[in-house]
Amino acid sequence: MINPGIPIVGFSAWSGTGKTTMLRQVIPQLKAKGLRVAVIKHAHHHFDLDRPGKDSYELRKSGADHTIICTTTRMAAITEFASPEQEPSLEQIVAGLDTDQYDILLVEGYKHLAFFAKIELHRSAVGKPYLYPQDSTIVALACDEAPVEAPGIPVLDINDPMQIADFIYDEVYSGGR
């Protein structure tokens, strides 16, 4: 079980629903409320933070197992894994955060983990089933069409990021979930 000392809320949805887009809209709203926001995004594919020709890229490609890039305004750490089994768990990633520096942690992905509160994003055009009936950690549903049956949790408008940010602030951050 994760207990980072700050509230965690996840955004859970099927691929193509707009999790990253929603986070990009909600984060500024939470910042405007005075919150210091940390984000962990899980990706199911490879990615590069830097590009060929940059010093950090060349150092990493030369064989460094761990590379840290730091400036006066930003820091990034890149760790290479020899195999997928070395990927750290969400618990390990959170344990490595200096949570004294943040007020809330937003998590994108990890929809199958069941130890933090989540907001399900659902768009009918994606054509996937709702997640909330099988996931008791979903505390709100943000959708474009309300489900036929009442979900027993708050239903938010997926096209209203301010409403979603208000819910996070009022119910997750202030409510201490």
In the chain, what are the domain boundaries?
A: 8-45+88-173
Q: Alpha-carbon distance 177 to 113, whole Å?
A: 16
Residue 106: count of CB within 10 angstroms of its CB = 24
The CATH classification of domain 8-45+88-173, taken from the options 3.40.50.300, 3.40.50.720, 3.60.15.10, 3.30.2320.50: 3.40.50.300
Task: List Cα–Cα distances, 17 to 11, 78, 129, 152, in angstroms.
Answer: 10, 28, 12, 22
- What pLDDT does residue 177 have? 43
- Write down the pLDDT at residue 68: 83
Name the residue with higher pLDDT: 149 or 48: 149
**Closest residue by Cα to residue 135 from 100, 159, 111:** 111
**Position 143 pLDDT exceeds 50:** yes
